[in-house]
Amino acid sequence: MDNELQLFRDSAQRLFRNEVLPHYDQWERAGITPRSLWILLGDNGLLCVDLPTELGGSGVPLAYSQVVIDEVGQLGMAALATNMVVHSDIVAHYVLHYGNVAQKQQWLPKMASGAAVGAIAMTEPGAGSDLQGMRTSAVRNDAGWLINGSKTFITNGQHADLVIVAAKSDPKQGGKGISLFLVDTTLPGFERGRNLEKIGLHSGDTSELFFNDLQLGADALLGELNQGLSLGEREVLLDLRSGHGVDLGGPVLAQGADHLVGGVAAHEGDRLTEPASQGQQLQGGGTDAGGGELGKDDDCGHGSSPCAWGRPVRRDRGRRGSRRAGLRRSRRR
């Protein structure tokens, strides 16, 4: 590890140890972290750290983002690590890689500062691993897109300001007719359900979400129409047991994920009638739906360990922006 990265790690560790860890048990008991935590993390340059500087990040390599999650994991704050991975390493990267200029400018600086929390909503009560079973619909109208449906197990669901929602935009195309939409959670028709109880990862905010005639503009489409699964099939490999390629306090993470997945499987297992289909994301397997091998794909940036939630393929890998070794304490919101 180079000196600059080590300094960054030390600085991150100090903040987590002094300002976050003392409260963590209380948050675990409460079943949620306070919204203000995101601002604290943003103010200290610990969110979306590898985004370009013009979009609110520090323009540093992905290793810096990994170090942040690693430190959270080392301190045993597995739920927080999961929340941060979803926000910084999945949602922000979807917007960065598939968003247009306006979408990036609208959301990424706010995500880096903690002013906006990100979530990604794919799983439904009847569509977990096999996203083709998805029922949430996106119907085109004069104003843009009308979204109806529900999602479950959505990390950051209670605090989210931005949710990337996967919805069927062309039911005739089956699994190929799925698109991704940027949903601003202040819009009418967006509703948060329960923050689900788990046997682990208690303060990990994992929620139901509902969309009732939620009207989106045409500009809410993320990436190409009907390409949702091909955008996602490499990226969203929902293996929460694998721990993001770093030590998230594995047993705690595994406990929470196994319990939930087992519970869902018990209720929904009768729909698992086919072998892994296109766009299907399997738990704990080490093989992705796009045919790649987890852990061997260094595009995902997580070295030799399998991904927790994967990430969009980095097309700018190797970019070296202006590195900042220390934490940014005065980032603007």
Ligand X SMILES: Cc1cc2nc3c(=O)[nH]c(=O)nc-3n(C[C@H](O)[C@H](O)[C@H](O)COP(=O)(O)OP(=O)(O)OC[C@H]3O[C@@H](n4cnc5c(N)ncnc54)[C@H](O)[C@@H]3O)c2cc1C
Least separation in angstroms between residue 4's CB and ligand X is 32
Q: Does 261 contact ligand X by CB under 6 A?
A: yes
Candidates 11-19, 43-51, 254-262, 316-324; binding stretch for ligand X (CB under 6 A):
254-262
Q: State which residue, 63 or 264, has the beta carbon closest to ligand X.
A: 264
Q: Does 73 contact ligand X by CB under 6 A?
A: no
> Hey, which residues does 148 pair with through a beta bridge?
137
Candidates 13-21, 199-207, 212-220, 310-318; binding stretch for ligand X (CB under 6 A):
199-207
Least separation in angstroms between residue 113's CB and ligand X is 21
290 and 312 in contact (C-beta within 8 Å)? no
Least separation in angstroms between residue 59's CB and ligand X is 27
Candidates 38-46, 227-235, 260-268, 324-332; binding stretch for ligand X (CB under 6 A):
260-268
Q: State which residue, 15 or 120, has the beta carbon closest to ligand X.
A: 120
* Residue whose Cβ sits closest to ligand X: 128
CB 322: neighbour CB atoms within 10 A?
A: 9
In sequence order, which residues have a C-beta less than 8 Å from that of residue 187 and are 6 or more positions away? 214, 215, 216
Contact flags string 267-306 toward ligand X, x per CB under 6 A:
-x---x-xxx----xxx-----------------------
Set 43, 50, 89, 205: catalytic member = 89
211 phi/psi in degrees, rounded to 5: -125, 110
Kindly state the number of chain residues that form the binding site for ligand X, as judged by CB under 6 A. Answer: 31
Q: Which amino acid is at 103?
A: Q
Distance, CA of 209 to CA of 195 (rounded, Å): 10
Candidates 8-16, 46-54, 109-117, 119-127; binding stretch for ligand X (CB under 6 A):
119-127
Which residue of 257, 294, 300, 308 would you call a contact of ligand X, by CB under 6 A?
257
Distance, CA of 47 to CA of 60 (rounded, Å): 12
Distance, CA of 64 to CA of 45 (rounded, Å): 11
Which residue of 206, 209, 216, 223 would you call a contact of ligand X, by CB under 6 A?
206
Which residue of 121, 214, 229, 246 would you call a contact of ligand X, by CB under 6 A?
121
Distance, CA of 329 to CA of 311 (rounded, Å): 27
Distance, CA of 24 to CA of 314 (rounded, Å): 32
| HSE, side-chain direction, 13 A CA sphere, residue 114 | 21
Q: Give CA torsion, residues 47, 49, 50, 53, to 10 deg.
A: 110
**H helix or E strand, kind and range, residue 287:** none
Q: State which residue, 39 or 276, has the beta carbon closest to ligand X.
A: 276
Least separation in angstroms between residue 180's CB and ligand X is 11
**Which of these, 179, 176, 173, 104, lies nearest to 149 by C-alpha position?**
179
Distance, CA of 19 to CA of 16 (rounded, Å): 6
> Is residue 288 flagged as an active site residue?
no
Distances (CA, A) of 276 to 13, 32, 185, 288, 291: 41, 34, 33, 10, 11
Candidates 29-37, 182-190, 219-227, 255-263; binding stretch for ligand X (CB under 6 A):
255-263
212 phi/psi in degrees, rounded to 5: -115, 105
Q: Does 135 contact ligand X by CB under 6 A?
A: no
Q: Does 238 contact ligand X by CB under 6 A?
A: yes
Q: Does 128 contact ligand X by CB under 6 A?
A: yes
| Near ligand X in 153-192, by CB under 6 A | 153-155
Distance, CA of 250 to CA of 240 (rounded, Å): 10
Which residues bind to ligand X, rule: CB under 6 A?
A: 86, 119-123, 128-130, 153-155, 201, 204, 206, 238, 240, 256-257, 260-261, 264-265, 268, 272, 274-276, 281-283
Enumerate the active-site residues: 89
